[in-house]
Amino acid sequence: AKEMALYKHIRLTGLMTVAAFLPDPQEVRPCFRLLRTLRDELQRQGVPLVHLSMGMSNDFEQAIEEGATLVRLGRALFGERT
């Protein structure tokens, strides 16, 4: 992340993950926790990361519990694709 400082016109503001689609949303919690831990470590190193984008319609509650600031809720809002 420190290498991003070399790019004057790009500002890193957060991290994103897309967890595996698993039947039990609790199973993806470690993925979300790992991303939050990585963000926290980068913040301690002086990288000003605000956002954690993680969680979709099937697991957004677990993502929020693990610190998500952005979630993607397509199916929850618009239903299944046809």
Domain that holds residue 34: 2-77
Residue range 23-52, pLDDT digits in tens? 999 999 999 999 999 999 999 998 889 999
The secondary structure of 49-72, three-state, reads CCEEECCCCCCHHHHHHCCCCECC
Residue range 47-79, pLDDT digits in tens? 889 999 999 999 999 999 999 999 999 988 899
* 3-class secondary structure, 5: helix
Q: Does residue 8 sit within a domain? A: yes
Q: Does residue 50 sit within a domain? A: yes
Report phi then psi at 15, rounded to 5.
-125, 155
Residues in the chain: 82
How many domains is the chain built from? 1
CA–CA separation, 23 vs 27, rounded Å? 8
Q: Does residue 61 sit within a domain? A: yes
Lookup: tokens for 45: 């190193």
Supply the pTM of this predicted model: 0.86
Q: Does residue 82 sit within a domain? A: no
Q: Does residue 67 sit within a domain? A: yes
